[in-house]
Amino acid sequence: MSLNSITVGIDRISFSTSQYYIDLRTLAENVGTCAQKYYQGLRQQKMSVTPPNEDIVTLAANAAQTIVATEPNKHIGILLLGTESSIDQSKSAGVYVHRLLGLSKYCRVVELKQACYSGTAGLLMACDFVRQNPDQSALVIATDIARYERNTPAEPTQGSGAVAMLVSANPKILEIAGTTSAYVDDVMDFWRPNYRREPLVDGKYSTNVYLDALQKCWERFKQLSELSLNDYYSLLFHVPFCKMAHKALNKLAENESVDEKKFSAFQNKIEQAIQYNTIVGNCYTASLYLSLLSLLENAEESLAKKRIGLFSYGSGCTAEFFTGVVQEGYHQYLYRDMHQKHLSERIELNYEQYVKMHDHHVNAKDNAFVPTGDYSVGSFAFVGINSHQRHYQAVDEVEYAYAG
């Protein structure tokens, strides 16, 4: 059997975000902006805000734990963690996650970086791994905290979250096709030097570079695949803010012959695909996959056998367009109720609480501890740093609460 004849793709997909959010109306009132600019202009309603004892490790472990618990017999041979809010220059955040999840010691673990694109790098590498090792699975986790400086244009486009995907042979949810088109260009639209907590971003320029990279990937993909716009049921895009997905669709339609009915169907699918993003906000590497999850869990009709196009963009920049076909019976393998409960039970912050959480910077110093009872988290907590080592625990195993 040739490697290309093995069907690989997303076998399970799960998501987690912080327990807190701020409504963008509250933000708008306090920074002196019209709420409609955020609600209509950016198409964002709420954004997740992370407390001090939540970070990319706890978000990632929370996202993946359901998959690991419900699929105990899958042999996970590799864990690929994509992030651009890294917590260490050397040690992979995936190693902490691996321990928290209790995975087999016989597993490769690595962290990947290329802005919002690295989750996609992980997913496509995972597919290649499974093609080579069809009896094993790969766990891919895209996890990020999108945090910008307050009182900047980027402030309403923050958020946080992690999406975990189990990649296996004969996947239950989305078969990923082999043909992809990648594009790279050395540009400075968004970056975070090692000495900074928040990234620097040239906002308007970044949206133009994103759209240009989309066009380049799309043109190349057409040459490689012979598919046209009409062959897709829906198109999903990296979602730094939800309006961007519509801008991306408009860009593709500019140079394509697509009739009004099909275009409006694409718009309608985007609405279903941004339902989660609009109340979570940007979660960088996880945003495209949160959008995929949103479509899978909120589509008004069955997606079985439908072809989806996915565009991943990471500033700096690397982008890639690829496609997947939704599998028959996929809906039985989703964790829809759990995700919707998680989202609906989040705690709303007022502006002062948001500012306090945003500005809290436990990572800045050694011997900084987070009182574990002060904030609500999922199943895992970041409890503090001592001797320059980060400490994580399962919440039900936390035996002590540090004094702040």
Note the residues at the interface with ligand CAA (CB under 6 A). Answer: 34, 36-37, 40-42, 116, 153-154, 157, 189-190, 201, 203-204, 206-207, 210, 238, 240-241, 243-244, 282, 284, 313, 315
**Residue closer to ligand CAA, measured from CB, 130 or 245:** 245
**Residue closer to ligand CAA, measured from CB, 288 or 325:** 288
Shortest Å distance, C-beta 180 to ligand CAA: 19
Shortest Å distance, C-beta 224 to ligand CAA: 24
Name the residue type at position 401: A
Residue of 54, 84, 111, 155 marked catalytic: 84
**Residue closer to ligand CAA, measured from CB, 163 or 244:** 244
Residue tagged 């209790």 (tokens): 102
Q: Within 13 Å, how many C-alpha atoms sit on residue 287's CB side?
A: 33
**Residue closer to ligand CAA, measured from CB, 113 or 307:** 113
Shortest Å distance, C-beta 116 to ligand CAA: 5
- Rounded to whole angstroms, the Cα distance separating 97 from 79 reads 9
Q: Which residues of 260-273 are buried (b: 16+ CB within 10 A; e: fewer)?
A: eeebeebeebbbbb
C-alpha 56: how far from chain center: 11
Residue of 54, 98, 116, 358 marked catalytic: 116
Q: Annotated catalytic, 301?
A: no
Q: Which residues make Cβ contacts (< 8 Å) with residue 323, sequence separation at least 6?
A: 176, 177, 179, 225, 227, 232, 307, 308, 309, 310
Shortest Å distance, C-beta 80 to ligand CAA: 20
**Residue closer to ligand CAA, measured from CB, 88 or 202:** 202
The strand ranges marked E within 223-306 are 234-237
**Residue closer to ligand CAA, measured from CB, 87 or 214:** 214
The pair of structure tokens assigned to 324 is: 């997947």
Q: Annotated catalytic, 238?
A: yes
Q: Are strands 368-369 and 307-314 parallel, antiparallel or unpaired?
A: unpaired
The residue number with the shortest CB distance to ligand CAA is: 41
Shortest Å distance, C-beta 158 to ligand CAA: 9
C-alpha dist (Å) from residue 364 to 174, 368, 380, 404:
41, 8, 21, 14
Q: Annotated catalytic, 75?
A: no
Shortest Å distance, C-beta 323 to ligand CAA: 20
Q: Which residues of 342-364 are buried (b: 16+ CB within 10 A; e: fewer)?
A: bbeebeebeeebbeebbebebee
**H-type alpha helices, 299-387:** 336-344, 351-359
74, 162, 218, 167: which is closest to 342 by C-alpha? 162
Task: Give the Cβ contact number of residue 73 at 10 Å.
Answer: 5
The strand ranges marked E within 222-342 are 234-237, 307-314, 318-326
Shortest Å distance, C-beta 370 to ligand CAA: 27
**Residue closer to ligand CAA, measured from CB, 34 or 69:** 34
Residue of 127, 217, 238, 317 marked catalytic: 238
Reduced to 3 states, what is the DSSP secondary structure of residue 73? coil
Positions annotated as catalytic residues are 84, 116, 238
